[in-house]
C-alpha cells in the first residue's frame, strides 16, 4: 500500500528516484502505521483514485478517530439543508489532546487580551499549540481538496518516519473540516457518476465535466458560501463560524479549485487588501507562501501568487477568520472537474494531482505554523490587542430601533453571532448627538474583534488610493477593473437601520446582546373591534403573511390613517374580530412572539383621520400563491437567494417552475410569478415570446409579475415590452458601428492624436461595470409599493444596467436612485456611472389589465444580504395581489 502510493506519486510528478535521493524524503515517501486504516481499506479506493462522496468522507474521519482516539476527535458542527452531517476533526499528539479542555479555555483567554497581565499573556503563549484550521470544498464542484483533507488527517495520524508530521504533532493542533458543502459535493458527484463510461474522459466538453444547472458550487439554497461568512444566512456557515469562535484558529486555509488550465494559487494575495488587516498578518502569508514554494519546487508543481485573489471583501473563508485575528489563506488548485482533464497544452491533469498538491500545501501550512509556533500564537494575540486600542476612525457605532425596529433587532443578533460585543441601550437616551427615543444598540469598536466590527459596521471601507488610481488608468485603456467582489457591505446600510458613528466612546451602560436571544414582541391585549398591524418593517409583513396563511381576513390601507389617537402608515393592516376565526387572540399572540412583531388593539373602527376600513382605500389581503422561474436560463445565485428569503426568512412557500415550462404551464393558480436573474441563454432562450405572451396574460388576468435585476432586460425587450423601460448605453458614447454596409466606406483623414482617440472609442458602449456599491434610493410616497420606505433605503448596484427614467403616465417609479451628490451610500462607483445612475429607476410598477408588472432593476435578494430591501419585495408579493382586480 505505502509502496504503491510512493510509486504513484513518483509517476505523477515525473521525478526519478535518483533525483529524489539527492534530497531528504518528502511526505509523499512516508511509511505508515498499519494500525491506522488507509482510505483503500476503509472505502475501497485510494487517495485520488475516486472522488469520495461527502458521507463517506465523514465516515472515514470517524473511522480514523476510532483507530486513534487518543490523537483525534471528531465534532459535529452543523446539518446541511439536505440532512448531511458537517464535522471537523481535531488532531494532535496524545499529550496535546489530553489537555484539550484546558487549551480551549486558554484560547478564549488569549482571544481577549484586555484583562491579561504581561505574565499571564506570556504563559498562555508559551503553553498553547498553534491552532491550524484546514477547510475544504466550500464550493461543491471544487472536488480535490476534500480527499486532500482526508489524506492530511491520515498522514498526521499514521506517518511513522516523516519529520514534517513530527514537527506538526509537537507544536500544532490541526483542525480538519473536510466537506464544507456536502449537498453541493453530492450534486457534483451525481452528475459526474451519471455521465461516466468505460474510462475517465479528459475531453473538456465531455458530459462528465459539464454540470447541468445549477452545478455543484452552491449549497441546497444555491448560496455561494464563500460570500456568506459575515451574513451567515446558511446553517453550514453558522455552524462553521461558531466552531471557529470556539477554537480561535491562528492559521486558516480555505482550499478551492479554479479552471483546469491553471496551476496552483497561494498567498501573498492580490490587491486590494482590506485596510483593517495588519502588516504582520500579511507577513504571515509570506512565511507560509515561501514554505509552499520550497515544497512545490521539490515535487515539481507550478504555482502563482499575488494575482486575482484579493483580501478586501470580508465575507470570504479567508478574510472573515483573518479579521478575527488569524492569518488566513485561499488556495486554488486547477480542477480536473472529474478524474482527468486534458489541458490546452495537451497534458493531462488528474484528480490525484490535485489531491497531492492540496495535500502538500496543507502539510506545508501546518509545518510553517508549527515551526513558527510562538510567532503565530503571539501574532493572534497582538492583532486582537491592537484592535482594542485603535486610535483612527470612529470609536463606536450606535444603531437606532426607530425606523426599522425588527431589522435593528435582527442586525444586533447577527453582530453578536460574529463574536462582536454589542449591548442594548436602555430606552430613551441621547448619545453622540443622536436621540434614541426607543433605545437601540451600542458597539464599541475598540474591542478584540475590532477589525471585523470596524469593516462591517462603519459606513465605508475605503479602497487604497493607489489601487483606485490603477483602476482608473485601466479604464481609460479599455481594460476591466481588478476587483474580485463588491466594494460595499456596511451592515447598517444593507439592513436599512439608522446608525451613528461616534468620534469618542460614549458612556452607555447596557446588557450584552446574544445571538440566540428571542426577538422582542409587543402583543396587544384583546380589544373589542380587532387589531391593527403597523406596516413599518419586514417583521410586520411576516406577521401578516403568517396570519394570511391561517386564513385570517385582513385589509391593507392605501394611505395613512389615525385611530385612537395614533397614526398608522400606508400599508398598515386591519383585522376585524367579527369576521376572524374564534381563536384570533391566541393566533396573534403566538405569531407575534415567534416573529418578534408588534400590533395594537382597536376598540372601535372609527378613524379620526384618513379612510374608514370600509373605504375602497382598504384592500383585502390574500395569502399569495407564489411561483418563480427556476432551472436552466436562471442564475442559480439569484434564484436560490430569492427562494431562500421568501421561504426561510418570511415563511412563504414558493413553487419553482423550470423557465422553459413556464410557457406551457397553467399559471392561473398563482398570484405572483417571480423572474430571478438570468444566466446563459436566459429567458429569451427558455421562455421566448410564447412564454412572454403567457406571462402577459397572467398579469392581465390579475397576477403580479415581478422581474429581479437583469430579468428586467427580458420584460423590457422591445419585442416583449411588458414594461416601457429601456436600457441605456453609456452616456456620451459614439453611436453607430463605424463600418458601412458595403465593403468600401468613405475615405477619412485622422488629423491628430485626439482624432485617433475619438476613432478608437467603442461604438454603442455599455456603461462601465460597477463592481458593487450601495446606492441610496428615494421613495415615491404616492406609490403603494413604497410602503415602509418614507426614509428611503440603499440598494447594491453591480454591473452596467441603467434604465431610462419612465414618464408618469406610463408606469410608477416606486423607488428611484438619489441625486448625484447623495447617491453613494457606501463603496466605490466610477464618476461617469454616478452621473448616469442618479435619479434613474430602481423599482418600477405598472398596472397591466387586472394585475401588475413590477421590476427591480437590481437584484434585491442576491446573497440574502440586503435585508433592508426585503420589505420592498414583500410589498410586491403581498400588497400588489391585494390591489389586483382579479375576480375571485
Ligand atoms: Zn472556490
130-172 pLDDT per residue, tens: 999 999 999 999 999 999 999 999 999 999 999 999 999 999 9
Residue 311: φ, ψ to 5°: -135, 55
Q: Cis ω on the peptide bond leading into residue 741 (within 30° of 0)?
A: no
Ligand 1: distance of its center to the CA of 268 in Å? 17
Q: What is the pLDDT of residue 28?
A: 95
Ligand 1: distance of its center to the CA of 494 in Å? 25
Ligand 1: distance of its center to the CA of 144 in Å? 11
Ligand 1: distance of its center to the CA of 260 in Å? 13
Ligand 1: distance of its center to the CA of 226 in Å? 7
Q: What is the pLDDT of residue 23?
A: 65
Chain segment 704-754, per-residue pLDDT in tens: 999 999 999 999 999 999 999 999 999 988 887 655 567 788 888 999 999
Spatial separation of the C-alpha atoms in residues 621 and 880, rounded to whole Å? 9
Spatial separation of the C-alpha atoms in residues 779 and 790, rounded to whole Å? 6
Ligand 1: distance of its center to the CA of 265 in Å? 12
Q: Which three-class secondary structure string do you get for 488-543?
A: CCCHHHHHCCCEEEECCCCCCCEEECCCCCCCCCECCCCCCCEEEECCCCHHHHHH
Ligand 1: distance of its center to the CA of 208 in Å? 19
The CA distances from residue 863 to 231, 496, 773, in Å, are 8, 16, 14
Chain segment 618-631, per-residue pLDDT in tens: 999 999 999 999 99
Q: What is the pLDDT of residue 428?
A: 87
Degrees to nearest 5, angle at CA 848 with 845 and 673? 70
Ligand 1: distance of its center to the CA of 136 in Å? 10
Query: Residue 3 above 50 pLDDT?
Result: no
- Mean pLDDT, rounded, for 86-106: 98
Residue 239: alpha-carbon gap to chain centroid:
15
Ligand 1: distance of its center to the CA of 363 in Å? 20
Q: What is the pLDDT of residue 845?
A: 98
Spatial separation of the C-alpha atoms in residues 137 and 263, rounded to whole Å? 17
Q: What is the pLDDT of residue 18?
A: 44
Ligand 1: distance of its center to the CA of 599 in Å? 45
Residue 47: φ, ψ to 5°: -60, 125
Ligand 1: distance of its center to the CA of 683 in Å? 27
Q: What is the pLDDT of residue 16?
A: 46
DSSP annotation of 559 reads S
Ligand 1: distance of its center to the CA of 336 in Å? 14
Ligand 1: distance of its center to the CA of 267 in Å? 15
Query: Residue 20 above 50 pLDDT?
Result: no
Backbone CA torsion sign across 531, 537, 540, 546? positive
- Mean pLDDT, rounded, for 808-817: 97
% of the chain beyond a pLDDT of 70? 97
Question: Where are the extended beta strands (E) located within 618-668?
Answer: 618-620, 626-630, 654-658
Spatial separation of the C-alpha atoms in residues 825 and 803, rounded to whole Å? 20
Chain segment 278-292, per-residue pLDDT in tens: 999 999 999 999 999
Ligand 1: distance of its center to the CA of 142 in Å? 6
Chain segment 478-529, per-residue pLDDT in tens: 888 998 899 999 999 999 999 999 999 999 989 999 999 999 998 888 899 9
Q: What is the pLDDT of residue 2?
A: 39
Task: State the average pLDDT for the chain.
Answer: 95
Ligand 1: distance of its center to the CA of 185 in Å? 12
Spatial separation of the C-alpha atoms in residues 104 and 124, rounded to whole Å? 11
Ligand 1: distance of its center to the CA of 345 in Å? 24
Q: What is the pLDDT of residue 533?
A: 98
Ligand 1: distance of its center to the CA of 137 in Å? 7
Strands 396-400 and 499-502: antiparallel
Residue 876: alpha-carbon gap to chain centroid:
24
User: Number of helices (H) and strands (E), helices first, in the chain?
Assistant: 29, 33
Spatial separation of the C-alpha atoms in residues 709 and 702, rounded to whole Å? 23
Spatial separation of the C-alpha atoms in residues 764 and 544, rounded to whole Å? 47
Q: What is the pLDDT of residue 553?
A: 98
Spatial separation of the C-alpha atoms in residues 836 and 822, rounded to whole Å? 14
- In the chain, the N- to C-terminal Cα span, in Å, equals 72
Ligand 1: distance of its center to the CA of 258 in Å? 7
Ligand 1: distance of its center to the CA of 331 in Å? 9
Residue 798: φ, ψ to 5°: -130, 165
Ligand 1: distance of its center to the CA of 472 in Å? 28
Ligand 1: distance of its center to the CA of 688 in Å? 33
- Mean pLDDT, rounded, for 192-207: 98
- Mean pLDDT, rounded, for 841-853: 98
**Could you tell me which residues are beta bridge partners of residue 609?**
562
Is residue 551 within 8 Å of residue 581, measured between CB atoms?
yes
The grid cell for 806 is: 419612465
Ligand 1: distance of its center to the CA of 224 in Å? 9
Ligand 1: distance of its center to the CA of 140 in Å? 8
The grid cell for 102 is: 484546558
Is residue 591 within 8 Å of residue 546, measured between CB atoms?
yes
Ligand 1: distance of its center to the CA of 237 in Å? 15
Q: What is the pLDDT of residue 744?
A: 86
Ligand 1: distance of its center to the CA of 811 in Å? 42
The grid cell for 363 is: 502539510
Ligand 1: distance of its center to the CA of 585 in Å? 50
476 pLDDT tier (thresholds 50, 70, 90): confident
Query: Residue 386 above 80 pLDDT?
Result: yes
Q: What is the pLDDT of residue 524?
A: 87
Ligand 1: distance of its center to the CA of 794 in Å? 29
Ligand 1: distance of its center to the CA of 257 in Å? 5
Ligand 1: distance of its center to the CA of 858 in Å? 25
Ligand 1: distance of its center to the CA of 191 in Å? 18
Q: What is the pLDDT of residue 4?
A: 41
Ligand 1: distance of its center to the CA of 638 in Å? 18
Ligand 1: distance of its center to the CA of 138 in Å? 7
Ligand 1: distance of its center to the CA of 724 in Å? 39
Ligand 1 ion: nearby residues, β-carbon < 5 Å: 139, 142, 256
Amino acid at each position: 500500500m505505502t509502496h504503491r502510493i510512493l510509486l504513484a506519486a513518483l509517476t505523477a510528478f515525473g521525478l526519478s528516484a535518483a533525483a529524489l535521493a539527492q534530497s531528504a524524503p518528502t511526505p509523499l515517501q512516508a511509511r505508515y502505521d498499519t494500525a491506522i486504516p488507509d482510505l483503500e481499506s476503509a472505502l475501497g479506493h485510494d487517495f485520488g483514485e475516486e472522488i469520495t462522496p461527502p458521507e463517506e468522507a465523514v465516515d472515514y474521519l470517524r473511522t480514523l478517530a476510532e483507530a486513534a482516539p487518543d490523537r483525534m476527535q471528531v465534532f459535529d458542527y452543523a446539518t446541511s439543508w439536505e440532512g448531511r452531517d458537517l464535522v471537523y476533526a481535531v488532531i494532535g499528539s496524545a499529550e496535546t489532546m489530553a489537555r484539550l479542555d484546558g487549551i480551549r479555555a486558554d484560547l478564549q483567554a488569549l482571544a481577549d487580551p484586555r484583562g491579561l497581565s504581561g505574565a499571564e499573556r506570556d504563559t498562555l503563549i508559551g503553553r498553547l499549540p498553534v491552532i491550524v484550521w484546514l477547510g475544504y470544498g466550500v464550493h461543491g464542484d471544487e472536488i480535490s481538496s476534500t480527499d486532500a483533507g482526508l489524506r492530511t488527517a491520515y498522514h498526521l495520524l499514521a506517518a511513522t518516519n516523516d519529520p514534517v508530521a513530527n514537527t506538526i504533532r509537537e507544536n500544532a493542533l490541526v483542525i480538519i473540516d473536510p466537506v464544507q458543502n456536502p449537498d453541493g459535493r453530492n450534486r457534483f458527484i451525481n452528475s459526474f457518476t451519471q455521465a461516466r463510461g468505460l474510462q475517465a474522459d479528459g475531453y473538456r466538453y465531455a458530459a462528465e465535466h459539464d454540470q447541468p444547472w445549477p452545478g455543484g458550487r452552491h449549497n441546497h439554497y444555491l448560496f455561494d458560501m464563500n460570500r456568506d461568512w459575515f451574513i451567515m444566512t446558511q446553517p453550514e456557515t453558522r455552524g462553521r463560524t461558531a466552531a471557529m469562535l470556539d477554537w480561535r484558529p491562528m492559521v486558516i486555509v480555505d482550499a478551492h479549485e479554479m479552471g483546469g488550465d491553471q496551476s496552483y494559487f497561494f498567498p501573498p494575495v492580490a490587491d486590494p487588501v482590506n485596510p483593517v488587516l495588519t502588516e504582520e498578518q500579511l507577513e504571515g502569508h509570506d512565511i507560509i507562501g515561501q514554505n509552499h514554494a520550497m515544497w512545490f519546487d521539490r515535487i515539481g508543481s507550478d504555482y502563482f501568487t499575488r494575482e486575482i485573489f484579493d483580501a478586501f471583501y470580508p465575507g470570504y473563508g479567508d478574510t472573515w477568520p483573518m479579521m478575527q485575528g488569524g492569518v488566513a489563506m485561499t488556495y486554488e488548485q486547477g480542477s480536473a472537474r472529474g478524474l482527468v482533464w486534458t489541458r490546452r497544452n495537451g497534458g493531462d491533469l488528474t484528480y490525484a494531482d490535485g489531491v497531492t498538491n492540496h495535500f502538500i500545501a496543507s502539510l506545508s501550512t501546518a509545518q510553517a505554523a508549527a515551526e513558527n509556533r510562538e510567532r503565530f500564537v503571539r501574532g493572534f494575540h497582538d492583532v486582537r490587542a491592537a484592535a482594542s486600542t485603535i486610535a483612527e476612525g470612529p470609536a463606536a457605532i450606535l444603531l437606532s430601533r426607530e425606523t426599522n425596529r425588527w431589522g435593528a433587532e435582527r442586525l444586533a443578533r447577527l453582530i453578536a453571532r460574529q463574536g462582536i460585543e454589542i449591548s442594548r441601550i436602555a430606552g430613551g437616551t441621547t448619545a453622540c448627538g443622536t436621540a434614541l427615543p426607543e433605545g437601540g444598540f451600542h458597539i464599541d469598536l475598540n474591542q478584540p474583534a475590532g477589525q471585523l466590527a470596524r469593516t462591517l459596521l462603519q459606513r465605508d471601507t475605503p479602497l487604497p488610493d493607489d489601487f483606485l488610481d490603477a483602476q482608473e488608468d485601466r479604464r481609460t485603456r479599455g481594460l476591466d477593473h481588478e476587483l474580485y467582489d463588491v466594494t460595499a457591505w456596511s451592515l447598517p446600510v444593507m439592513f436599512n437601520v439608522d446608525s451613528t458613528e461616534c468620534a469618542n466612546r460614549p458612556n452607555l451602560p447596557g446588557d450584552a446582546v446574544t445571538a440566540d436571544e428571542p426577538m422582542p414582541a409587543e402583543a396587544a391585549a384583546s380589544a373589542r373591534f380587532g387589531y391593527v398591524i403597523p406596516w413599518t418593517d419586514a417583521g410586520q409583513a411576516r406577521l401578516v403573511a403568517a396570519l394570511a396563511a391561517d386564513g385570517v381576513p385582513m385589509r391593507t390601507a392605501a394611505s395613512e390613517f389615525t385611530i385612537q389617537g395614533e397614526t398608522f402608515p400606508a400599508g398598515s393592516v386591519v383585522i376585524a374580530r367579527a369576521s376572524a376565526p374564534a381563536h384570533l387572540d391566541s393566533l396573534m399572540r403566538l405569531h407575534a412572539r415567534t416573529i418578534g412583531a408588534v400590533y395594537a388593539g382597536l376598540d372601535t373602527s372609527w378613524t379620526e383621520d384618513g379612510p374608514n376600513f370600509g373605504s375602497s382605500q382598504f384592500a383585502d389581503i390574500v395569502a399569495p400563491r407564489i411561483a418563480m422561474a427556476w432551472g436552466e436560463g436562471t442564475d442559480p445565485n439569484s434564484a436560490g437567494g430569492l427562494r431562500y428569503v421568501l421561504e426561510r426568512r418570511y415563511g412563504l412557500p414558493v413553487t419553482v417552475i423550470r423557465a422553459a415550462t413556464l410557457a406551457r404551464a397553467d399559471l392561473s393558480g398563482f398570484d405572483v410569478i417571480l423572474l430571478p436573474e438570468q444566466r446563459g441563454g436566459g429567458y429569451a432562450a427558455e421562455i421566448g415570446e410564447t412564454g412572454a405572451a403567457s406571462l402577459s396574460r397572467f398579469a392581465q388576468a390579475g397576477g403580479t409579475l415581478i422581474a429581479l435585476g437583469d430579468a428586467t432586460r427580458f420584460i423590457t425587450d422591445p419585442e416583449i415590452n411588458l414594461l416601457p423601460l429601456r436600457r441605456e448605453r453609456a452616456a456620451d458614447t459614439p453611436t453607430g458601428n463605424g463600418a458601412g454596409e458595403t465593403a468600401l466606406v468613405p475615405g477619412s483623414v485622422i488629423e491628430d492624436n485626439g482624432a485617433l482617440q475619438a476613432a478608437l472609442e467603442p461604438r454603442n458602449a455599455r456603461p462601465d461595470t460597477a463592481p458593487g456599491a450601495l446606492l441610496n434610493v428615494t421613495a415615491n410616497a404616492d406609490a403603494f409599493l413604497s410602503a415602509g420606505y418614507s426614509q428611503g433605503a440603499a440598494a447594491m448596484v453591480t454591473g452596467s444596467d441603467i434604465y431610462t427614467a419612465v414618464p408618469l403616465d406610463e408606469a410608477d417609479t416606486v423607488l428611484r436612485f438619489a441625486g448625484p451628490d447623495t447617491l453613494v451610500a457606501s463603496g466605490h462607483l466610477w464618476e461617469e456611472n454616478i452621473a448616469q445612475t442618479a435619479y434613474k429607476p430602481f423599482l418600477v410598477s405598472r398596472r397591466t389589465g387586472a394585475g401588475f408588472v413590477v421590476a427591480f432593476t437590481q437584484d434585491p435578494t442576491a446573497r440574502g444580504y440586503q435585508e433592508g430591501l426585503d420589505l420592498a419585495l414583500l410589498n410586491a408579493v403581498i400588497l400588489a395581489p391585494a390591489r389586483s382586480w382579479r375576480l375571485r
